[in-house]
Amino acid sequence: MSYEEFPVFIPMGDDNLFGIVCVPEFGDSDMGVVLLTGGNYTRSHRNRMWVSAARSLAKAGFPSIRIDYHGVGDSTGHARFEMEEPFLEDAMTAADFLIAATGVQRLTFLATCFGGRTAMAAAAHHDKGEVATIFPVPLAIPSDPSKIPFRTKVKLRVRRWQWGKKLFRRPGVRRLRQAAAARRSDSSMVISPRFKRDLTEFVRRGDLWFIYGDRSSSLDELKRLLAETAPNMSKEERARIHVLILPDCAPEHFRTIEDQELVVKCAVASVTGDLDTLPARGEALSAEAAS
Amino acid sequence: MKVDRELLARHSSFTDEGIEERAVHFDIGGESCFGLLYQPADPRGLGFVVCHSYALEFLTLRRIERSIARALASMGYPVLAFHSRGFGDSTGTLAEATFDRLQEDLFAGASWMMSETGASDLGFIGARFGALRAGVAARGGDAGRVVLVAPEFSGTTYFRRLIRNKHMVELVDSGGSARRSMDELLDVLAKDGMLDLLGYALHGHLYKAFAGINLSTDVGSFSGDALLVQVSKRTSPSSEALAYSKRVVDGGGRCRLEVIKEPPGVNIGGPAFVSTSDPFVREDLQEPVVDRIAELVKEWIKD
């Protein structure tokens, strides 16, 4: 076996975070990787995607840690996920432990979904954070968080019931809702100020990869983010933001084994520096162009 | 790279409220299986093994399994929760995880747990598909206790539900044009040997092996003590739960049947963190149900 795995409980306040440290049998890379998931997935991610990524990274010489957030999986505690409150402490704790256990001097934070918010915050705050790789992440929040649109309240209430879930799954209802959403103005939504702040802070020193699919639902939000942040950055900072758009997919749903393999391949390539070999179009959305 | 093995070893366990949670690895058939052992300070002679579920439920039911394990350990019973070969943090591939190998793994795990803790009697725990696995493992008569949470009684029903879910998503994505009958989908499974169920592989050998299994019609030679917790929108026991319970009693065993009503928004086996009133906040709606299950397990084991 080209790797060794060490399951660990890492103290964090009153809680214990559970994680798996995966170290290569050979190699002396000083770059370690923190693998983060969305809220409802445990450390292995859907269909063991992060297990596969961690072992491939180890084969390439990079150690990693994959964790359960507090209140999730085998970690202790209680969790509540708020889009604007990433689990910064969890990611920082895991990163510090990886450094202590393997001696790495540089860090990559790699994440999907809600984990993207956490990865961005941790990369900005950890002084050893050098790379952040983020798969599609929701970026828009209400401009006035105290005002939730009436239609959203109705939707959430209806969805609490089985008949409501079935209703929303009907193709006809889905088409009607999509058409209504397309007509609606989204001026009530803004790009997360916190994410913008963390991104601006991080690109002063680190490389940031956004890996999206051309059918990713939050692609427009990414475009807005880049258009709003790039003008205030230097040329060097803008050059540190890389956007990779994978053709003909929405990788954030992980709905097929093929999509999952692509996510794992991209995740590993973003650390090993082999992303240019993947089929993608990145030029149209670079931060440089957005500015 | 200088790996601090001493630091890693020091963090492989922690103790809380008298229960030690220890991460372990042990070998089964040349593969390394990951597990967590819940060890009370003064263990009794009965130990349990958790039978994990399949597909997304492998992740989403973990909190229930953990809560039951801690409840039993708090009463003095050691529990091992481990990943079979090809699942989670263990090595191996899912394609090789046949029905026989899954059963072999369970008993290898049980034997490891018994030698590690000194337990002489065995019990199985499972939720959903994990409960089906637990029920099947108990059929041989080796286990004196089983805890079945929201069990799937029939292998066919379980896998067909997963196939139907996949089909619904494809149907919605295609605007209704990708309509296929269950028979057509099963033909694909038979022909290709594998179906991609929303990112989880269902292999034909597993479908075939579980197809003939129904716990409500066959409990084998299990004559021990069962706790069956039905978690559903309905408040009365299902006909399958009643049939299972009756068969256990007829075979000389005992079965305590409990029903927990699923609150709105809760779907055991589905994602635990759900938005309720604010779409940007997700809360664990399953926690009260999980706590109630742990209470029931404690009451049952005391009897």
Which of A194, A174, A21, A83 has the alpha carbon at shortest distance from B279? A83
**Residue B134 and residue B23 in one domain:** yes
Residue A127 contacts residue A201 (beta carbons within 8 Å): no
Q: What is the pLDDT of residue A10?
A: 98
Q: Is B277 on the interface with A (CB under 8 A)?
A: yes
Tokens 């039911």 belong to which residue?
A: B61
Closest-CA distance of chain B to residue A69, Å: 12
User: Which residue, A129, A162, A183, sits at the end of a domain?
Assistant: A183
| Residue of B4, B8, B25 for testing the chain A interface, max A β-carbons within 10 Å | B8
**Residue B47 and residue B175 in one domain:** no
Who contacts B174 (Cβ-Cβ below 8 Å, separation ≥6)?
none
* A177 has a pLDDT exceeding 80: no
Q: Is B278 on the interface with A (CB under 8 A)?
A: yes
**Residue A91 and residue A216 in one domain:** yes
Using one digit for the tens of pLDDT, what is the confidence trace for B49-84?
A: 999 999 999 999 999 999 999 999 999 999 999 999
Q: Is A21 on the interface with B (CB under 8 A)?
A: yes
**Residue B64 and residue B192 in one domain:** no
**Residue B194 and residue B229 in one domain:** no
Averaged over A264-278, what is the pLDDT?
88
Q: What is the pLDDT of residue A26?
A: 86
d(CA A109, CA B81): 29
* B279 has a pLDDT exceeding 90: no
**Residue B146 and residue B249 in one domain:** yes
Using one digit for the tens of pLDDT, what is the confidence trace for A215-237?
A: 898 999 999 999 999 999 999 99
**Which span out of A28-32, A80-84, B110-114 was modeled with the highest average pLDDT?**
B110-114
Beta pairing class for B46-51 and B19-28? unpaired
**Domains in chain B: how many in total?**
2
Dihedral angle computed from the Cα positions of residues A288, A116, A192 and A139, in that order, rounded to the nearest 10 degrees: 80
Identity of the residue in A10, A171, A256 whose CB atom sits nearest the CB atom of B196: A256
Residue B95 contacts residue A80 (beta carbons within 8 Å): no
pLDDT confidence bin for A145, thresholds 50/70/90? low
Q: What is the pLDDT of residue B302?
A: 93
Q: What is the pLDDT of residue A188?
A: 76
Closest-CA distance of chain A to residue B141, Å: 31
Q: Which residues of B127-155 are buried (b: 16+ CB within 10 A; e: fewer)?
A: bbbbbbbbbbbbbeeebbbbbbbbbbbbb
pLDDT confidence bin for A34, thresholds 50/70/90? very high
pLDDT confidence bin for A165, thresholds 50/70/90? confident
Q: What is the pLDDT of residue B45?
A: 96
**Residue A173 and residue A196 in one domain:** no
Identity of the residue in B11, B88, B171 whose CB atom sits nearest the CB atom of A8: B11
Identity of the residue in A1, A39, A142 whose CB atom sits nearest the CB atom of B282: A39
| Strand, helix or coil for residue A142 | strand
d(CA B243, CA B217): 7
**Residue B9 and residue B53 in one domain:** yes
Q: What is the pLDDT of residue B247?
A: 97
Residue B148 contacts residue B229 (beta carbons within 8 Å): yes
Beta bridge partners of B196: B201
**Residue A87 and residue A134 in one domain:** yes
Residue B79 contacts residue B65 (beta carbons within 8 Å): no
Q: What is the pLDDT of residue A143?
A: 81
Which of A270, A259, A252 has the alpha carbon at shortest distance from A207? A270
* B100 has a pLDDT exceeding 80: yes
Q: Which of A70-79, A243-252, A273-282 has the lowest mean pLDDT?
A: A273-282
Q: Which of A17-31, A100-114, A176-190, B265-279 has the lowest mean pLDDT?
A: A176-190
Using one digit for the tens of pLDDT, what is the confidence trace for B227-265?
A: 999 999 999 999 999 999 999 999 999 999 999 999 988
Q: Is A42 on the interface with B (CB under 8 A)?
A: yes
**Residue A201 and residue A170 in one domain:** no
Residues of B with Cβ-Cβ distance to A84 under 8 angstroms: 280
Where residue B29 sits, what CATH number does that domain have? 3.40.50.1820
% of chain A beyond a pLDDT of 90: 68
**Residue B177 and residue B294 in one domain:** no
Using one digit for the tens of pLDDT, what is the confidence trace for B146-159?
A: 999 999 999 999 99
Averaged over A240-262, what is the pLDDT?
90
pLDDT confidence bin for B293, thresholds 50/70/90? very high
Q: Is A173 on the interface with B (CB under 8 A)?
A: no
**Residue A161 and residue A269 in one domain:** no
**Residue A199 and residue A254 in one domain:** yes
Identity of the residue in B11, B56, B278 whose CB atom sits nearest the CB atom of A10: B11
Residues of B with Cβ-Cβ distance to A18 under 8 angstroms: 23
**Residue B171 and residue B46 in one domain:** no
Q: Is B23 on the interface with A (CB under 8 A)?
A: yes
Dihedral sign from CA coordinates of B247, B250, B256, B257: positive
Q: What is the pLDDT of residue B169?
A: 85
* A281 has a pLDDT exceeding 60: no
**Residue B126 and residue B159 in one domain:** no
Where residue A283 sits, what CATH number does that domain have? 3.40.50.1820
Dihedral angle computed from the Cα positions of residues A68, A72, A78 and A79, in that order, rounded to the nearest 10 degrees: 80
Averaged over B85-92, what is the pLDDT?
97
Q: For residue B139, which amino acid is it? A: R
Range of the domain at A88: 3-143+190-290
CB contact under 8 A, B4 and A102: yes
User: Which residue, B212, B238, B257, sits at the end of a domain?
Assistant: B212
d(CA A282, CA A132): 17
Residue B223 contacts residue B251 (beta carbons within 8 Å): yes
User: Which residue, B212, B228, B252, sits at the end of a domain?
Assistant: B212
**Residue A214 and residue A117 in one domain:** yes
Q: What is the pLDDT of residue A191?
A: 94
Structure tokens at B154: 């029939």
Residues of A with Cβ-Cβ distance to B91 under 8 angstroms: 1
CB contact under 8 A, B2 and A102: yes
Residues of B with Cβ-Cβ distance to A70 under 8 angstroms: none
How many beta-carbon contacts under 8 Å exist across A and B? 150
**Residue B175 and residue B45 in one domain:** no
* A282 has a pLDDT exceeding 60: no
Using one digit for the tens of pLDDT, what is the confidence trace for B183-206?
A: 999 999 999 999 999 999 999 999
Residues of A with Cβ-Cβ distance to B196 under 8 angstroms: 256-258
**Residue A138 and residue A243 in one domain:** yes
**Residue B141 and residue B232 in one domain:** yes
Residues of A with Cβ-Cβ distance to B23 under 8 angstroms: 7-9, 18
d(CA A83, CA A97): 25
d(CA B170, CA A272): 34
Identity of the residue in A10, A141, A171 whose CB atom sits nearest the CB atom of B176: A171
Using one digit for the tens of pLDDT, what is the confidence trace for B219-228?
A: 999 999 999 9
Structure tokens at A153: 């309240």
**Residue B144 and residue B219 in one domain:** yes
Q: What is the pLDDT of residue A183?
A: 64
- Residue ranges of the alpha helices (H) in B174-227? 182-192, 204-211
* B98 has a pLDDT exceeding 70: yes
**Domains in chain A: how many in total?**
2
**Residue A97 and residue A200 in one domain:** yes
Q: What is the pLDDT of residue A184?
A: 65
Range of the domain at B27: 5-152+215-302
First to last CA, chain A: 47
Chain A, 102 to 161: residues with Cβ < 8 Å from chain B are 102-104, 141-142, 145, 148, 152-153, 156, 159-161
Residues of A with Cβ-Cβ distance to B203 under 8 angstroms: none
Q: Is B91 on the interface with A (CB under 8 A)?
A: yes
% of chain B beyond a pLDDT of 70: 99
Averaged over B135-144, what is the pLDDT?
95
CB contact under 8 A, A148 and B278: yes
Burial class (CB in 10 A: 0-12, 13-18, 19+), A100: middle
**Residue A97 and residue A171 in one domain:** no
Q: What is the pLDDT of residue A279?
A: 60
Chain B, 115 to 144: residues with Cβ < 8 Å from chain A are none
**Residue A196 and residue A179 in one domain:** no
> What is residue A277's DSSP assignment?
G
d(CA B240, CA B154): 9
Beta pairing class for B145-149 and B225-232? parallel
pLDDT confidence bin for A288, thresholds 50/70/90? low
**Residue A98 and residue A218 in one domain:** yes
User: Which residue, A125, A158, A183, sits at the end of a domain?
Assistant: A183
